[in-house]
Structure 1
């Protein structure tokens, strides 16, 4: 069943003005997209964060459905792997163009299902297009056979060959329903694999829209199988069958996925939680730092894996930064309309709203100072929460170390760069960080000392996120493996080394022991000394 949502206007109040506008509605093709899901079980009614009303009824997949999806994907993958990288690249380049041509429909879906503001939804469409183009252009070079140095120059001919892993299981989340589906699915397909994909039920149609565009671009439909259901139910079924598993979500569940994959000895790529810091050094430009912090903290209402939740400011700049940051935060416009006017949209669900509300209430009750925000805004949308800035957050408060995943940030002060680095690293997470400095060299030097898989200098998160030619992944409890860069494609392959030996053998002749073995050892010793002298 597909339900078209009624329009609704947001209401404005002092401090955080709302933006008038009507929420977008589901496209007429949504019901047809759902027909692609391998599911025969009971339905789940998805709710739009923009209004709290129903969007679609999503069926659930049982073990037999998942098994059928893998069977279909396995059969389709054999023919797809035989296709040239150039053929597969053509599909991704056509998808790139379709994404840009039809982005308005995609933006409506992202907003409708995730609740984010349109200006943040457009980042997802552009990100997917960039990734599709990047891997389409790079794949042929990365996947071709490569010559490697042999055991002996000239006499050993060695090649590295790449093969797809088979069928990749992908479990993607609700917060970036387009980007985080494509980040795993597209390079997996480009490497010659098939995919069995479980999008979050709350954002199912957004992922299905991307799949529909890929099929229109020339992708065989059976290559991208979709199953549905809660992660706790469907995830283990996927991990039990996949040749590789990709999971984005909480660290707790990520450990379970890793353990199940390890038991089967299949690779697992995990992007997990974060408690990301931003450092404002004492030579930073305040205007740049404030705007960077606004974007880093409040994009997608803080529901971004690389979102900033901790801001550390040098003593010399702390008071003025805080004054400007609070004042700027208070001007941000809240809205649930399908236009580009709102600065922030909604949280994704009642559960997210409860977590954010509880973290703020706990901090204030235990002595933190609330400078702006701190309230739900049901007058605008059922799960809207004001962008919130606090100081005085201490270790006995829940939000100090736990991931809030909402538009809430704590500001702290520091004395020296060494202290700032120590504070930034005082976390079990290591996903993303930011450094603002008046000196690029100083900013990069501090960034190199932060224990995180990605660090942005003079930017909140976009500089690393947009650099798709470089890897991006988590340290510590923030995950295993990385997206983007060469690794983002090669992780979906198995590597094989083929070496052919000509002339001189690498081992002595066993049918002539003694003298022959001693002669072989002398020859090899001479060869190694020669290679050492020639710099080989």
Structure 2
């Protein structure tokens, strides 16, 4: 299929009409989203109502039964085709991601790679992960046990605006392969990339009603979305996560959530200064800092501080901002005016109360309406909003430390625990220190990608940064109900024949000793 043409900062009418036709919306209500790069209208979208959400669930339940009845090898076929189809249409989806989010193309590429590689990972492994497994029975050879996996049913998946392509499709793929249907609520501003991959998967053989998209105000569609779900998957703020758990708790359904972070980076005294400075730029300013696993706090050992900080600041000052649909820009725009307001408030308050700006520190309307300079500050204290609250923008504060015990304490002194980064020439030392950090992922000599993109390992947060995990076996199995089926053979679980319970108790007790000795148990 030929890619629709993108002219400047607009998308073709034909593409928008095709994508928005996948939104479940029966009324006449619409909303218009704007391009962050320019502030100009990008697309008009139909808006879903509460009744539309209920209709989507009715369709999904019917479709899910037939979908779950298919062998796993059939369910994975559209996803096996997806990676090559994505490669063939790479430029088209990169344009869509950039235009709806305002991010630099190199950061849109990360989303493209994530969907292509993560969906392929699960497509290759779903059949093995979901197959019945033999488990050890109570009595060897007498009790035979099998573990079965059943789909949850219909999953409500709520994905955020900052990585709309990756954090939608990469979670939906394993949910679907597990035999579920999905009702997906992407953020309205950034729903086009999710609709794009849905449209592509339908063309590759995915039944249409298996993945349905609803778009609208959470106040209108949030309750029916959660109240009708068999499982809820959410990525977003800790505040919103708490509100969702209050809705699902009375129904006793399970859920998973990846929430906020105030992620630390630790630069040890033996770190390579130039390499670490380059890596820190990516760790802090990817997607203009609108990344839940990006670095917002940087701790630098006193022995290296005076060499590292100038090197890092120089790298930051030389960063190129831009809105071109190519790879020339190192950082793009913020996505929402409200995010620009938060970033501006955090920096302005910190400076007013004594923080020092080493680089950046102001908005750049000359580049675009929502651009903000990559910003580095020192002298940030605990009473400033910037210190402990998630900024979710291109801002990092730097602190000096003396000992590993000290930096572990300060790095862990937060309600969050999503990601962390350690830089050192001694990887063994870095691993030892990583084990002391309270974060779901810790990267050594990288900011976030090494752990996140290792799909065979789980990813998620400690403390108020989340519940459950994506990636690894858990990233698929969480969308299933596990069932144990046990059959008893040759003898019952009670005294055989005329043997008394006293003798039976002695037999069982001696059996425990024997099984331990023979390492059967």
Tell me if TM exceeds 0.5: yes
TM-score normalised per structure 1: 0.94
- Alignment of 1:93 with 2:80, yes or no, is yes
Q: Find the counterpart in structure 2 of residue 305 from structure 1.
A: 292
Mapping of residues 216-295 of structure 1, within 5 Å: 216-295=203-282
Which residue of structure 2 aligns with residue 43 of structure 1?
Answer: 30
- So what's the TM-score if we normalise by structure 2? 0.97
- Residue aligning to 2:14: 28
Please tell me whether residue 474 in structure 1 is matched to residue 458 in structure 2: no
CA separation of 1:31/1:220 partners in 2, compared to 1, >3 Å: closer, same or farther?
Answer: same
| Contact persistence 1:5–1:53 (CA under 8 A) | no
User: Could you tell me how far 1:440 is from its partner in structure 2?
Assistant: 0.5
CA–CA separation in structure 1 for the residues paired with 2:323 and 2:246? 40
Matched, 1:500 2:487: yes
What CA distance in whole angstroms lies between the structure 1 residues aligned with 2:53 and 2:216? 11
Offset of 1:236 from its aligned partner?
2.1
- For residues 141-193 of structure 1, give each alpha carbon's deviation from its aligned partner in whole angstroms, at most 9, with x where no partner exists: 10000000000111110000001000000111110010000122111001010
Q: Equivalent of 1:533, from 508, 513, 517?
A: 517
- Report the equivalent of 1:167: 154
Deviates more, 1:32-41 or 1:386-395: 32-41
CA positional deviation for 1:6: 9.8
1:230, distance to aligned residue in structure 2 (A): 2.1
Aligned with 2:142 (options 141, 155, 161): 155
Gaps of 5+ in 1: 8-21
Q: CA deviation at 1:534?
A: 1.1
After the TM superposition, list the runs of 4 or more consecutive aligned residues in structure 1 that deviate by more than 3 angstroms. Answer: 4-7, 22-27
SS in 2 for 1:471: coil
* 1:314 has 2:301 as partner: yes
- Give the RMSD, CA atoms, in angstroms: 1.5
Match of 2:283 among 265, 289, 296: 296
Q: Is the CA contact (8 Å cut-off) linking 2:142 and 2:488 kept in structure 1?
A: yes
Relative to structure 1, the CA distance from residue 293 to residue 339 in structure 2 (aligned partners, 3 Å threshold; closer, same or farther) is same
Of 518, 523, 530, which residue of structure 1 is paired with 2:502? 518
Q: CA deviation at 1:260?
A: 1.3
Retained in 1: the 8 A contact 2:419–2:461? Answer: yes
1:58 Cα offset (Å): 1.8
Aligned partners of 2:119 and 2:170 also within 8 Å: no
Q: 2:129 aligns with which of 112, 117, 142?
A: 142
* 1:273-305 C-alpha deviation (Å, 9 max, x unpaired): 100000001111111211111110000100011
Contact 2:6 2:12 survives alignment (8 Å): no
Rounded Cα–Cα distance in structure 2 between residues aligned with 1:229 and 1:80: 27
Counterparts of 1:147 and 1:6 in 2: how far apart (Å)? Answer: 54
Shift of 1:517: 1.5
**Residue of structure 2 in register with 1:18 after alignment:** none
Matches within 5 A, 1:74-223: 74-223=61-210
Aligned with 1:108: secondary structure?
Answer: helix
Q: Aligned in 2, Cα 1:227/1:41: closer, same or farther, shift over 3 Å?
A: farther
